[in-house]
Structure 1
Amino acid sequence: MNNIKTLDLAKKIEGKLYGPNKELNGTFTFLNKASKNDIVIRHWINEKGVQIALDKEISCIITQNPQEDTIKYAQEHDFPLIVTDHIEYATAYALNQSIKKYAQNAFKMSITGTNGKSTTSHLLFTIFSDLNYKTYTNTDAESEGNTLIDPRVSDELTDYYKQHGEIEAISLEVSEVQGWDDKLMKNHSYQMISALEADVAIITNASFDHMNLVESFDELLDEIEGAARALDKQDKNTLLVLNYEDTNIRKMNKAVEDNPNIKVMYFGDYDPENILDISYKENVGIYAKETLYIKYEDLPFTSAHFIQDIMAAIAVCEYKSLNKEEVIKSLKNYKPLARRFIKLRENPVIIDDFAHNPSGIQLTIENGSKLGDKLVVVNAIRGSRGEDINEEIAESLAKTLNQKEDYTLLLTCSKDVVNHLNTVLDSELQVFTATLDEHNIKYEVIENLEDALNKSLQIASPDDVILLLGAQGMDPASNILSKNNQI
């Protein structure tokens, strides 16, 4: 990083310095990975952590929650400790410093929204990599690196640079809403995309999620719109890509309409009376304006949510004037992230999907039910995420399943596989089942995930389809099925 003194750094992140005002020139990283001169960002720290930092000759620690006598211990050992009420300010600063040092000239893309951001980010990473750009992405199957909670992205950018040299493209997934212990981390997408100095912001959609952090859907929309505001504050040419089919997202063009440096592109359904920048005509393909860009038979997937993600990625490709034939080749060969509508088996068909919020549940059931006769849904209840989100998911399950003639619903608490951070609370199970009862939805609650999976295969015939839905509680499903020689 560029040299900065601890007192100046504390001021930048609205923190207070305890200890000496010394010059810093190390890398922002984690305590367990840090070496001499590095700067550690950690949500909480205790005396033991400071002792480890002293032994490693770390130059500074930034924290939000110093435990017990940590401040006193740091002062006694003349060690710089910065305490801030907003750890995200420190992480955003670290990200921006890494961008300036390792990716100043990179084409920087950001993707946020409720659903589809992981797949869209991974699509863009794949395309740019296939076109020989040295490309970094923070997206993985678990989507754990899309926040400003810790310095993961800045740390990974440093590692990428050391291995590959200067970064030429970045595809950054950005959590639309983030927080700690039911406390909102205000303006998360705005802060992260601003720190990236993004050339592109894609907003995929908006639906109920993270409702334990925001007080209303309007507040959720405001958090998501932060992506557009982040572009608006920059003094350079940028691209804002919006989902035209989501009315709330479409309106976010108003946040940038007075900025001539921002090009707005829309993707959505094909309409000859209203030609969008990128659109999909059913069973024909995806169009760029009025020209067929990629044929239906060349699409890697044809479910509705995947097509939206592909359209968003193509909008960026068109903006960047990437070689069309090379982009199509990349798309045809695309392999998705784990648990993104992945087919694990035939006869019966088993689809595994990271459907963890109401709109994701609805889309996956609507697309998955087309793949077989009878529908068997195994849904892992979201543990330790609050009653509100579970009520919303149950409501979405009920409304969607009520439209199906033949289905079986199995609920699981995944007690055999989840840790204490993902344990289903009694209140969460109660609100989930009560909501289903209100809609006269039949279901069976099975405590362990393995038992639920076995039950689904027992009741499904070869022509049926089994949908595995849920977040952390369903993550181990494919490994369990594989272990039991069921896939």
Structure 2
Amino acid sequence: MQLNSINASSLANMIDGVLYGPDILLSGKYTFLNKASKNDIVIRHKIDDKGIKIAKNKGISCLITQNPQNDAVEVAKKLEFPLIVTTHIEYATAFALKNSVDNYASNAFKIAVTGTNGKSTTTHLLYTIFSDFGFNTYTNTDAESEGNTLIDPRVASELFDFYKLVDNIDVITLEVSEVQGWENKLMKNHALQMISALDSEAVIITNASMDHINLVNNFDNLLNEISGAATAINKRNSPSLLVLNYEDENIRNMSKIVENNENVDVMFFGNYDSDNILPISYKEGKGIYSYNELYVKETDLPFTSIHFIQDIMAALAVCIYKQLDQEKVIKSLRNYKPLARRFIKLKENPVIIDDFAHNPSGINLTIENGSKLGNNLFVVNAIRGSRGNDINKEIAEALVESLKDKLNYTLILTESVDVVNHLNTVLESEREIFLNILDENNIEYTLIESLEESLLKTVNLANEDDVILLLGAQGMDPAKELLIKNNII
């Protein structure tokens, strides 16, 4: 299809950039360098002179970057190739997202989900439900949650690919990182920019807990970033939905942002209270209620850990707002298969739970819920390799907080040297800060370099009535396959 055209100079002005090279008319799609075809517009955080030459040879119409390296600018001028250097790469990726939505999904129902925890599961639940209803539904959520930022044009590019596949996009369910940045530099107003670019008709804010301390200075700054989601929907001039976690006071108070906007419906979800009936609530042993009517019986829920129930309630708020058929929603929930490594039970006797717990609040939630499933608790945690000292300090402190009052735990740490590549190798400084935090707080642990060895040792130590939690991001991803290889599951 013919895309909306724009002059390179006009694009540069809109994204706070400077154009080097000719001012030509641009009408290609926004994408990555390795995916780009003739006339496409490429967005890259960094580019060097070799990259400029590759782009020129591929017939790319324009390249946008924040950090030109080596002689990139000089080569672009010499080759008469349009290069835009912007002060903020997210301005470009937000513009690309808006352009793709306008071109490929202008009539789609658009949902954005943000918050510290539960984003991926809530987004994937909505994707599954709307897909089960027969809607052509796009989502950026995957097991690693790598597509929820404005650092690159992934969503803009994938929307084009999905449009080519289905010809009409009915629904977009977008996971939006509440805080983003790189090299300890905050990408300000990330949620506000991304949700505004999407023009979301429904926004869910799951919760707020301290995370990304290398990017935000304090909790108030974190809340300000998250509240950008409510600010984005408050700017719309058409009917919209804001779904908020009533049990999180800071999230509940974000309703004040839209209180004077008659276009925005606010739906809270939380615990059932007969004196304070919420639009969506959960009563233990009964199920999830819509106002005062039972909507889903507890026996029909795909999982019953409280943080998962919160994710389900958030998703159901959107379903009820859209007046989806209740029985079909329940059927979709009953058959729901969660994302990989989201509190997945791999084995009984002993119970083995695999969870992509990669931040402090995720660690705390998983240990809180998982420790209830067995007598003795075994935690196998993969130290995050090549992710910096700050995040490893946070995770170690979360382990301290979760384990300090437990008497029946065994903590085994691994560097996963047998399965990770150079991009995920644990650095000496990361190991040192992780272990120092545990030592200072008298948390006992065993460090095993190999992931496979750490798993085998843990399984041998555990009795049938115990529980084993497999925690961590990339370093723990291969655990399931290793357990299968050793005939444990």
TM-score by length of 1: 0.98
Aligned 1:53-202 pairs, distance under 5 A:
53-202=55-204
> Residue in 2 aligned with 1:360?
362
Q: Which amino acid counterpart does residue 394 of structure 2 have in structure 1?
A: E
Structure 2 SS opposite 1:20: coil
AA aligned opposite 1:349: V
Counterparts of 1:432-447 in structure 2, within 5 Å, are: 432-447=434-449
Partner AA of 1:300 in structure 2: P
The residue that corresponds to 1:470 in the other structure is 472
Q: How far does the alpha carbon of each residue in 1:76-118 deviate from its partner, in whole angstroms, 9 at most, with x for none?
A: 1111000112111111111101101111111100001111000
Task: Indicate if the aligned counterparts of 2:357 and 2:472 stay in contact, CA closer than 8 A.
Answer: yes
- The equivalent residue for 1:311 is 313
Alpha-carbon distance in 2 for matches of 1:291, 1:232:
29
Task: State the distance in 2 between where 1:371 and 1:216 align.
Answer: 34
- What letter matches 2:459 in structure 1? L
Question: Per-residue deviation at 1:435?
Answer: 2.4
For 1:3-26, what per-residue CA distance to the aligned partner results, in whole angstroms no more than 9, with x for missing partners?
A: 000000000100000001100111
5+ residue gaps, structure 2: none
Counterpart-to-counterpart distance in 2, 1:455 and 1:245: 40
Q: Counterparts of 1:222 and 1:27 in 2: how far apart (Å)?
A: 33
2:285 aligns to what SS in structure 1?
coil
Residue 479 of structure 1 and its aligned partner are, at CA, apart by 2.0
Q: 2:328 aligns with which of 323, 326, 329?
A: 326
- Return the match for 1:292 from 291, 294, 297: 294
One-letter amino acid of the counterpart of residue 375, structure 1 = L
Separation in structure 1 between the aligned mates of residue 272 and residue 351 of structure 2, nearest angstrom: 31
Instruction: For 1:239 and 1:436, locate their aligned partners in 2 and report how far apart those are by CA, in whole Å.
Output: 44
CA distance in 2, matches of 1:76, 1:8: 22
Range moving further from structure 2, 48-57 or 422-431: 422-431
Task: State the 1:424 CA deviation.
Answer: 2.5
Q: Deviations over 1:172-201 (max 9, x none)?
A: 000111112111111111111000000011
Picking from 341, 344, 347, the partner of 2:343 is: 341
C-alpha deviations, 1:187-235, integer Å up to 9, x for none? 1111110000000110111112211111112111111111111111121
Query: For the Cα contact (< 8 Å) 2:7–2:26, is it kept in 1?
Result: yes
Aligned to 2:213: 211
Contact 2:211–2:361 (CA<8 Å) still a contact in 1? no
Partner of 1:418: 420
CA separation in 2, counterparts of 1:190 and 1:260?
Answer: 20
SS in 1 for 2:146: coil
Q: Does the 8 Å contact 1:304/1:363 carry over to 2? A: no
SS in 1 for 2:122: helix
CA contact (8 A) 1:208 1:392 kept: no
Corresponding residue of 1:231: 233
Deviation digits for residues 9-58 of structure 1 (CA, Å, limit 9, x no counterpart)? 00010000000110011111111111111111111112221222122111
Aligned length: 487
Q: Which whole-Å CA distance do the structure 2 matches of 1:212 and 1:242 have between them? A: 26
Question: Could you tell me whether the CA contact under 8 Å between 1:212 and 1:386 is conserved in 2?
Answer: no
CA distance in 2, matches of 1:237, 1:368: 40
Quote how far apart the aligned CAs of 1:354 are.
0.8
Question: CA separation in 1, counterparts of 2:147 and 2:486?
Answer: 31
Tell me the equivalent position of 1:397.
399
Q: Is the 8 A contact 2:32 2:153 kept in 1?
A: yes
Structure 1 residue 128 displacement after superposition: 0.4
Give, in angstroms, the shift of residue 277 of structure 1: 1.0
Post-superposition shift, 1:427?
2.9
Residues of 2 paired with 1:313 and 1:434: CA distance? Answer: 40
Q: Is the 8 A contact 2:31 2:156 kept in 1?
A: yes
Q: Tell me how far 1:419 sits from its aligned partner.
A: 3.1
Secondary structure in structure 2 of the residue aligned to 1:133 = coil
Q: Distance in 2 between matches of 1:31 and 1:426?
A: 34
Calculate percent identity across the aligned residue pairs.
Answer: 67
CA contact (8 A) 1:208 1:357 kept: no
The farther-off stretch of 420-429 and 21-30 is 420-429
In structure 2, C-alpha distance between the alignment counterparts of 1:177 and 1:419, rounded to whole Å: 26
Contact 2:137 2:171 in 1 (8 A): yes
Question: Could you tell me the TM-score, scaled by structure 2's length?
Answer: 0.97
In the other structure, the counterpart of 1:484 is: 486
Is contact 1:232–1:262 with CA below 8 Å preserved after alignment? yes
Q: Distance in 2 between matches of 1:307 and 1:87?
A: 36
> Higher mean Cα deviation, 387-396 or 198-207?
387-396
Question: 369, 379, 382: which one pairs with 2:381?
Answer: 379
Structure 2 CA distance for aligned equivalents of residues 359 and 51 of structure 1: 45
Tell me what 2:17 maps to: 15
Over aligned residue pairs, what C-alpha RMSD do you find? 1.3
Distance 2:85 2:255 in 1: 38
Matched, 1:44 2:46: yes
State the alpha-carbon separation in 1 of the partners of residues 117 and 17 from structure 2.
Answer: 34
Contact 2:351 2:374 in 1 (8 A): yes
- Secondary structure at the aligned position of 1:104 is classed as coil
Q: What SS class does the counterpart of residue 378 from structure 1 fall into? A: strand
Structure 1: runs of 5 or more not aligned? none
Specify the alignment match of 1:449 in structure 2.
451
* Structure 2 Cα separation of the partners of residues 417 and 42 of structure 1: 29
- Cα distance in 1 for partners of 2:408, 2:381 equals 17
Q: How far apart in 2 are the matches of 1:218 and 1:386?
A: 23
Shift of 1:292: 0.4
Q: Does 1:255 align with 2:254?
A: no
Residue type at the aligned position of 1:180: W
8 Å contact kept, 1:43–1:150: yes
User: How far off its partner does 1:455 sit?
Assistant: 1.2
- The CA deviation string for residues 114-161 of structure 1, in whole angstroms up to 9 with x for no partner, is 110000000000000001111100001111111111111011100111
